[in-house]
Amino acid sequence: MEHSATPHSYVRAERRRTGARTIRDRDTLYALLDGSLSRSGPGRLAGAPLHVRVLAAGVRLHDKGAPSASLSLLREGLAKAHLAVADGAQQTVALFVPGDALDPEAFVLGHTTAAITAVTPIRIVEIPHSRVREEIERRPDFGIALGRQLARQNALLKEWMASLGRRSAISRTAHLICEISARTSGSDVEAIPFPLTQIELADVLGLSVVHVNRVLQQLRAQGLIDLSRSRLSILNLPRLAQIGDFDRGYLENGDPFPEPRR
């Protein structure tokens, strides 16, 4: 049954059985990895236990272009993908939060397309590409989940490109704060860990450190955020989202396989 099911029929069957409207990539991958899906789904990942690695802050997982034979899933901490430009400056091109795949493109290309470094201490689970391939053949939703990871990272990149190209310094900063909050917290007012330094923010936002400093203080002075001791509170999300031109729709999973209408 598992082998013969098409992705569409498999997802529909899974949805009917679990009562879930959608199967989210993060949930699915998490469930596959920690075995919780085995209680409600057709089975846990086959084979030997997965390799878990713990990296200290600042440690580089991959160089740009490095060959990769495994898919790395972030379980804890914050990581970044970054590129060095000609004058030695760094541009951060992606931030990864728990649940994200750090190098999904390497499964297709065989190598990474940016350097990946731990921003905080991180814990990752590595799934050999051979097992990813087996799992996709065994469970079509695994392939869909991987495709969603790539699609979501593509959506994030598009927003970042719009920020770097067209948004003002305060707008792109507000947008990033809204985005990180949406990706790491379900609550709009809860203080979330915000371990990015001004230097790291500058590398993400394409701004100088002093400019980032000024913008953060502008947002604080306007009563929109509180940032202290590496914790961020959004005090006025509607206004911050307005300044940041932020609409969280690009972060949400659509439903690629809607139930046919009767």
Residues that bind another protein (CB under 8 A): 168-169, 197-199, 207-211, 213-214, 216-217
Closer residue to another protein, CB minimum distance, 150 or 169: 169
Cβ–Cβ under 8 Å, residues 11 and 141: yes
Rounded to a whole number of angstroms, the minimum distance from the CB of residue 219 to another protein is 11
Q: Which residues pair with 79 in a beta bridge?
A: 96, 118
Closer residue to another protein, CB minimum distance, 50 or 227: 227
- CA separation for the pair 216, 223 (Å, rounded): 11
Closer residue to another protein, CB minimum distance, 31 or 170: 170
Name the pairing type of β-strands 79-84 and 122-128: unpaired
Rounded to a whole number of angstroms, the minimum distance from the CB of residue 220 to another protein is 8
Torsion, Cα of 18, 21, 27, 28 (10° steps) = 60
CA 100 to chain centre: 4
Say which residue the tokens 């082998």 belong to: 3
* DSSP state letters, 95-163: EE-TT-BS-HHHHHHSB-SSEEEESS-EEEEEEEHHHHHHHHHH-HHHHHHHHHHHHHHHHHHHHHHHH
First to last CA, the chain: 25
Rounded to a whole number of angstroms, the minimum distance from the CB of residue 210 to another protein is 4
Closer residue to another protein, CB minimum distance, 25 or 200: 200
Rounded to a whole number of angstroms, the minimum distance from the CB of residue 61 to another protein is 25
Rounded to a whole number of angstroms, the minimum distance from the CB of residue 83 to another protein is 19
Rounded to a whole number of angstroms, the minimum distance from the CB of residue 57 to another protein is 15
Closer residue to another protein, CB minimum distance, 184 or 198: 198
Closer residue to another protein, CB minimum distance, 9 or 168: 168
Rounded to a whole number of angstroms, the minimum distance from the CB of residue 245 to another protein is 15
Say which residue the tokens 């931030």 belong to: 95
Closer residue to another protein, CB minimum distance, 154 or 197: 197
Exposure string of 82-92, with b = 16+ CB inside 10 Å and e = fewer, is beeeeeeebbb
